Structure 1
Amino acid sequence: MDRVGTPEILARTADELSDWRRLAQPLTARFRAEDDVAGAAFVAAIAQAAAAAGHAVPEIRLGRGLVDVALFSVDETGDRCVTAKDLELALVITGIAQSFELSSLPGEAARVELALDTADLAVTGPFWAALLTGDAGHLTGDTVFDPSDRVPAVWFQRRDAQPEPRQRWHLDLWLAPEVADARIAAAVAAGGTLIDDAQAPAFTVLADPEGNKVCVCTAVGRA
């Protein structure tokens, strides 16, 4: 499987794939339709294009006047990644959107992952895979993926065992790089605290007024 690295993806999204953003594993885009019927027709056209390309149907969410599309491939281990085939289909979908006269909203694309600190992934991971997906085998590497995408992905951050109480769960909010700073500023203005930006823009750690932490993540600065 011809995986594509994040630097190449960022170069492509800065050029001919400007509708798209890398958010966690998938390549993601948001389009605005004039009405729900146009949005539904766009979704049908995407499905037909994917079938013609021999690609699995993308993850698509049709909302009120909005269509969110996420593209990824699954390797032999069950891990999710972006491949050259995904980039090709993204370019086709962009062309379809233009033919439908849909506007793209790349800055509105967002994705949430759940992150859990664990000292023993082999013990903890299968429990959450079974609970969230119904199958303990849906743990791939350090992440639980639901094949039907009913629930967010859960990835496990390895930590030494520590006494309770402490926060072990946190959200990873993936955003388009161009909007991350404004979102962080808005959260701080709303009472949050900047905890750590040493790894920004890859991730910035914030805390809410009660001390609960969250990471704002982008694809910039990642391999």
Structure 2
Amino acid sequence: MMDSLTTVQILDAGLVDWRKLAQALHARYLTGDFAAGLRFVTAIGEAAEAMNHHPDVTLTYPHVDLKLMSHDVGALTERDLDLAHRISEIAREQGVAAEPHAVAEIELALDTADVAAVGPFWAALLTGSAEALHGADVVDPKGRVPLLWFQDTDAHRTPRQRFHLDVWVPHDIAEQRIAAAVAAGGAVVDNDNAPSFVVLADPEGNRACVCTCLDR
């Protein structure tokens, strides 16, 4: 089993086509049409077989989305960096452009003072099995639903917002995304933990976080 990498190691790896979001490396390649996308995916598959490491691939008409993570470690390792570099080489060979700022990921967050009590319920509801609860996360092994994580909080009786969205974006566009949300009527509620995350609210007070991989 390989060692997991720190965020600094990942950022220093020179992966210009890729961005780290919540847990994995993500990339989008603009293939332009389905046939070009299929050629690109076929070449990626051959490289993945040769390296015995396989990405998650989504092939659509105009682009290909890729996700890399070492599931046996539950984190990013050198094998992910190696395959990411190889996929970038394949893209250059085929004349396929990357659009790293287009990637994003949604997490659901639920404030709770008792993960042991509520966690199995949400795991069973979302995935069909309470066994999908891993620590403070509900992880769907089939990738059907977003990650749900439980944010520790004090027990409370007063009604308040318990669910919020964590919107993971590339670290180099976070300020732009926050500015766009503010210009659209939102407000920054808390930026004490920037650039790791910034809490925003819509005009009615519903909150969400813009998250990046930095300072984690």
- In which range does the TM-score fall when normalised by the shorter chain? over 0.9
Pick aligned residue for 2:167 from 159, 166, 173: 173
Tell me whether 1:156 sits opposite 2:150 in the alignment. Answer: yes
The 2-side partners of 1:163 and 1:99 are apart by 59
1:29-82 deviation line (CA, Å, top 9, x unaligned)? 111012111112212222222222111x32222223111111011236xxx310
Unaligned runs of 5+ in 2: none
Give the secondary structure class of the aligned counterpart of 1:81.
Answer: coil
TM-score of the superposition, structure 2-length normalised? Answer: 0.95
**Displacement of 1:164:** 3.9
Tell me whether 1:133 sits opposite 2:127 in the alignment. Answer: yes
The 2-side partners of 1:146 and 1:43 are apart by 24
The 1-side partners of 2:66 and 2:205 are apart by 34
Partner of 1:45: 43
Moved over 3 A (4+): none
Give the secondary structure class of the aligned counterpart of 1:171.
Answer: strand
1:187-216 deviation line (CA, Å, top 9, x unaligned)? 001110100111111100000111110000
The 2-side partners of 1:205 and 1:82 are apart by 26
1:118-165 deviation line (CA, Å, top 9, x unaligned)? 111112111111111112111122111111211111111011111142
Contact 2:30 2:62 in 1 (8 A): yes
Q: Which moved more, 1:127-136 or 1:168-177?
A: 127-136
The 2-side partners of 1:53 and 1:27 are apart by 17
1:167-192 deviation line (CA, Å, top 9, x unaligned)? 11111111111111111111001110
Tell me whether 1:212 sits opposite 2:206 in the alignment. Answer: yes
1:95-127 deviation line (CA, Å, top 9, x unaligned)? 111122110111111111111111111121111
The 1-side partners of 2:10 and 2:31 are apart by 26
Give the secondary structure class of the aligned counterpart of 2:46.
Answer: helix
Partner of 1:66: 63
Pick aligned residue for 1:75 from 65, 72, 89: 72
Letter in 2 for 1:2: D
Give the secondary structure class of the aligned counterpart of 2:82.
Answer: helix
Aligned length: 215
The 2-side partners of 1:43 and 1:164 are apart by 51
Tell me whether 1:190 sits opposite 2:173 in the alignment. Answer: no
Letter in 1 for 2:5: V
The 2-side partners of 1:73 and 1:127 are apart by 28
The 1-side partners of 2:4 and 2:140 are apart by 21
Letter in 2 for 1:81: A
**Identical aligned residues as a percent:** 52
Unaligned runs of 5+ in 1: none
Partner of 1:28: 26
